[in-house]
Structure 1
Amino acid sequence: MHGTPTAERRSLSQRLDALPFTRKHGKVLGGSGIGWALDAMDVGLISFIIAALAQQWGIDKGQSGLIASIGFAGMAIGASLGGLLADRFGRRQVFAVTLLVYGVATGASALVGGIGLLLVLRFFVGLGLGAELPVASTYVSEFAPARIRGRIIVILEAFWAVGWTAAALIGYFVVPASDDGWRWAFALGAVPAVYALIVRWGLPESPRWLAGRGRTEQAETIVASFESAAASRGGRTAASEPAPAPAPAATPDAGGPAAAPIAISSGGRLAALWSAEFRGRTLSIWVVWFCVNFAYYGAFIWIPSILVDAGFSLVRSFGFTLIITLAQLPGYAVAAWLIEVWGRRLTLSVFLVGSAVSAIVFGTVHAEAAIIASGMALSFFNLGAWGALYAVTPEIYPTSLRATGAGWAAGVGRIASIVAPLLVPVLLIAGGSGLTFSVFAVFFVIAAGAAWGLVDRRGTALDDR
């Protein structure tokens, strides 16, 4: 759609923003969140499986890094394509297909007999996983009321901690239990293939996307169902509550260029990301995504193996990793509260600086208590930063290119997640864990600075051009 939104379309958006949080919002959040948790479980499991295969198959660190990185190569492509497809075909459809793709590929990984086929399947796992995450955050953000939108997206991202904790539990109890433990871990990762069917038929399409495609009758039906849910619980709707302020990007800044129409073709959407209106925030969000991905996946994919190399047994290192993982949940909880109090940029940058400090400490300590404490701090701050990042990313673009913008930011980030697991062995040889985690700290600091190039839409309506 070209130009400014119609009055009818603005009305749909204002009605969505004025709603209280209802059971229907809970269904959208929970349905998307379970898919998010299953994604995290898959990503988390590979770190434990790599450590186990290093002992069973005798693979070296270079091969271990390749197993991790090939999945992230798939994620880079999946994130870029998934956003474009979601802006063209709808959020729900793409969300379900991506879950199906990576669920089937993960289950098939349980049957492999060598590293070659495992690499092929990990690539397809990455394709599905990479496409799902930015689509899910875009989808939920378009239902969330403006005044609590950031908090809801951080809660969605908190499902990642649930999935990663499940991975740590499987890694601790299942993977070391037998020579086939890693195969059973992969088999459990096939659950998303079944869940995809539930998502496909159980969740509504985004009414903002439907309205943007001219399907206003369907959009109206969905919004009306949410209003009915609010009325049944005695909540306020758009008729009784003032609409939120218009999004800043929907009107030109004083003395600045007017907001440009958004193209509806895939090529036009990609070009729009680098138009005068969006190029500053696109560059900033790409830098943040790249740096956070590099530091996060470089650290957390390798932590179990680093602890084994430090002299801890496989089971003991997995136990440490499980404890460290549990600190993710309070990190999300604090970020979910602060993001509507401090705003997106300040919350994101503070948690990134905390991640940098924690990384330096983790890389230099040797006592068990210090390893666990600094690892928990790294989990707390890093995952809180992820929550804020997923909250701010869909908000900086209008509906017509929101999934494209979020998908390409995630895709650029996945380039870093490809490089990091391959670079970690080199850094460990060159300077041990101290140098390795100091490099991660530098990336966190760069991301904290780049966060200030983003727009902060706390409490305001999404731009629906």
Structure 2
Amino acid sequence: MSTITERLGNLPLGKFHWRLLLIMCLGWAFDAMDTGIISFVLPKLIATWQLTSAQVGFVGSVGLIGMAIGAMLGGTIADYIGRKKVFAATLVIYSLGTGACGLSWNYESLLFFRFLVGFGLGGQLPVAITLMSEYAPTKSRGRMIVLLESAWAFGWLAASIISYLVIPKYGWEIAFYIGALPALYVFYLWRTVPESALYLMKKGQVEEAHALVTNIEKELGVTPGQKPSMAEIQTAAAAPAFSVLQLFSPKYLKRTACLWILWFCIVFSYYGIFLWLPTLLVKAGHNMVQSFEFVLWMTVAQIPGYFTAAALVDKLGRKATMATFLLGCAFSAYMFGSAASVTDIYLWGCLMSFFNLGAWGILYTYTPELYPTEARSTGVGWAAGFGRIGGIAAPMVVAAMITGPDKIPLVFMMFTAVLVIAALDMIVLGDETKQKALN
């Protein structure tokens, strides 16, 4: 007799999975769009409000503070009240927060609204990835999660296009108002996204979980499995509540340490590079429209990066693919820092973006695989939350280092070192999870 977990893990990849992936991808893309808009608005705000480098750095960091708190709380709460409720609530929070940014009347009000945006974004991402991983078939789970993460590139691309077309002509406020539109998506999401069957089992809602999985099996043309046995029901009911402190117990300590280092380094490099990139390019002598064009092409390069990671992660495994992408990003960052010609900026910038976002896709695949269902959202949320500390620090570190165009190579040498540390962490502390069923 197959358990609920085995029935889900052994399902053939079909319409149900692709529909759920598309729904989650739209939410993920909206996350990226609302995050990305601020990086394109900043050069305009610097000129309009006469912001210092330290103030610009804190605009980026305050959003990450919100994301850290949102990830830790959202992830933990989702293990108690369910993935679906938290996913929907956080989408509304960050969408309305983005719209409110357009109403900002001064620097301080913008900081407050950016905190709200970050809180909603931080709460949604770990919950979304947990829900998707709990429905993805075991053999293709890595590919499905990387494809979900690839929606980030499309969302950032949307932010690039919106900013490129709107900000120069209509002002920065309109870009933020457009970012509020995803709040309307919650009505469709609530009707179509199912709660996690694995979560329902752990909460003792066995009949509901069985009915949900049976409907999925019928949709995919699979003979429905039998109702859960008494042993499975008792096992699910006996699962104790998971506390955050257990992340540091002997059973999970190595996994937690590996993930927290990995998250810190990847988030530090990503937000340090991409939140500052338009501004850094302006400081290097390019005008604002040129800098937007550079970032637009670098964003396009993220898409094949994700798809390449998706093709490799279930074949080569999580460790080898992650280490390769991190080292590739480290080398590209080093070369980008010393790039002088427009051609070199495009080449190394696109490669840096290709490898960095591919690594993100693998990170989101790998993280939920290291924890059981009762701890999965908590484990993902706290790893992501700790990682956001890197994102909080990175914009301020870059702000302190950038005293002129001659300091740009030094900044990217720093990112190179951080990415090499992340690769070594994965190689030394990481456990391979390829083709392993969730529990």
Aligned-pair CA distance for 1:99 = 0.3
Aligned-pair CA distance for 1:455 = 2.2
Q: Quick check: 1:285 aligned with 2:247?
A: no
SS at 1:414's partner residue? helix
Corresponding residue number in structure 1 for 2:109: 117
Aligned-pair CA distance for 1:238 = 7.4
Q: 1 CA distance for matches of 2:424 and 2:212?
A: 40
Q: 2 CA distance for matches of 1:450 and 1:82?
A: 26
SS at 1:273's partner residue? helix
Q: 2 CA distance for matches of 1:397 and 1:129?
A: 22
Q: For 1:319, give the aligned amino acid.
A: E
Corresponding residue number in structure 1 for 2:278: 304
Q: Quick check: 1:47 aligned with 2:24?
A: no
Corresponding residue number in structure 1 for 2:228: none
Q: Quick check: 1:337 aligned with 2:329?
A: no
Q: For 2:414, give the aligned amino acid.
A: V
SS at 1:263's partner residue? coil
Q: Structure 2 matches for 1:143-154, cutoff 5 A?
A: 143-154=135-146
The 8 Å contact of residues 69 and 418 in structure 1, kept in 2 or not, is answered as: yes
Aligned-pair CA distance for 1:225 = 1.2
SS at 1:429's partner residue? coil
SS at 1:140's partner residue? helix
Q: 2 CA distance for matches of 1:42 and 1:139?
A: 22
Aligned-pair CA distance for 1:262 = 5.9
Change (3 A) 1:310 1:460: same
SS at 1:327's partner residue? helix
Overall identity of the aligned pairs, in % = 44
Q: 2 CA distance for matches of 1:26 and 1:292?
A: 28
The 8 Å contact of residues 54 and 400 in structure 2, kept in 1 or not, is answered as: no
Corresponding residue number in structure 1 for 2:422: 447
Corresponding residue number in structure 1 for 2:85: 93
Q: 2 CA distance for matches of 1:422 and 1:171?
A: 24
Q: Deviations over 1:16-45 (max 9, x none)?
A: 111112221122111111110000011111
Aligned-pair CA distance for 1:460 = 1.9
Of the three residues 218, 228, 247, the one matched with 1:228 is 218
Aligned-pair CA distance for 1:201 = 2.2
The 8 Å contact of residues 84 and 403 in structure 1, kept in 2 or not, is answered as: yes
The 8 Å contact of residues 218 and 224 in structure 2, kept in 1 or not, is answered as: no
Aligned-pair CA distance for 1:197 = 2.4
Aligned-pair CA distance for 1:153 = 0.2
Corresponding residue number in structure 1 for 2:438: 462
Aligned-pair CA distance for 1:192 = 2.1
Corresponding residue number in structure 2 for 1:171: 163
Q: For 2:346, give the aligned amino acid.
A: I
Q: For 2:186, give the aligned amino acid.
A: A
Corresponding residue number in structure 2 for 1:323: 297
Aligned-pair CA distance for 1:415 = 0.6
Q: Deviations over 1:402-435 (max 9, x none)?
A: 0000000000000110110011021222861111
Q: For 2:196, give the aligned amino acid.
A: S
Corresponding residue number in structure 2 for 1:210: 200
Q: For 2:178, give the aligned amino acid.
A: L
Aligned-pair CA distance for 1:63 = 1.1
Aligned-pair CA distance for 1:336 = 0.1
Q: 1 CA distance for matches of 2:223 and 2:386?
A: 39
Of the three residues 363, 369, 381, the one matched with 1:395 is 369
Q: 1 CA distance for matches of 2:172 and 2:371?
A: 41
Q: 2 CA distance for matches of 1:194 and 1:307?
A: 35
Tell me the matched-pair count. Answer: 427
Corresponding residue number in structure 1 for 2:229: none
Structure 2 stretches of 5 or more lacking a match? 226-234
Q: Structure 2 matches for 1:191-206, cutoff 5 A?
A: 191-206=181-196
The 8 Å contact of residues 22 and 226 in structure 1, kept in 2 or not, is answered as: no
Q: 2 CA distance for matches of 1:298 and 1:358?
A: 15
Q: For 1:140, give the aligned amino acid.
A: M
**More divergent stretch after superposition (138-147 vs 166-175):** 166-175
SS at 1:142's partner residue? helix
Q: TM-score, normalised by structure 1?
A: 0.89
Of the three residues 351, 356, 368, the one matched with 1:377 is 351
Q: 2 CA distance for matches of 1:288 and 1:215?
A: 35
Aligned-pair CA distance for 1:221 = 1.3
Q: 1 CA distance for matches of 2:280 and 2:75?
A: 35
Q: For 2:270, give the aligned amino acid.
A: Y
Q: 2 CA distance for matches of 1:183 and 1:217?
A: 49
The 8 Å contact of residues 263 and 269 in structure 1, kept in 2 or not, is answered as: no
Q: 1 CA distance for matches of 2:418 and 2:239?
A: 33
SS at 1:47's partner residue? helix
Change (3 A) 1:413 1:237: farther
Query: Cα RMSD (Å) of the superposition?
Result: 1.6
Aligned-pair CA distance for 1:263 = 3.5
SS at 1:139's partner residue? helix
SS at 2:85's partner residue? helix
Corresponding residue number in structure 2 for 1:247: none
Q: TM-score, normalised by structure 2?
A: 0.95
SS at 1:410's partner residue? helix
Aligned-pair CA distance for 1:351 = 0.2
The 8 Å contact of residues 154 and 390 in structure 1, kept in 2 or not, is answered as: yes
Aligned-pair CA distance for 1:444 = 0.5
Q: Quick check: 1:409 aligned with 2:383?
A: yes
Q: Quick check: 1:263 aligned with 2:255?
A: no
Q: 2 CA distance for matches of 1:193 and 1:393?
A: 28
SS at 1:59's partner residue? coil
Q: 2 CA distance for matches of 1:238 and 1:369?
A: 57
Corresponding residue number in structure 1 for 2:326: 352
- The structure with more helix, counted as a fraction of residues: 2
Q: For 1:224, give the aligned amino acid.
A: T
Aligned-pair CA distance for 1:113 = 1.3
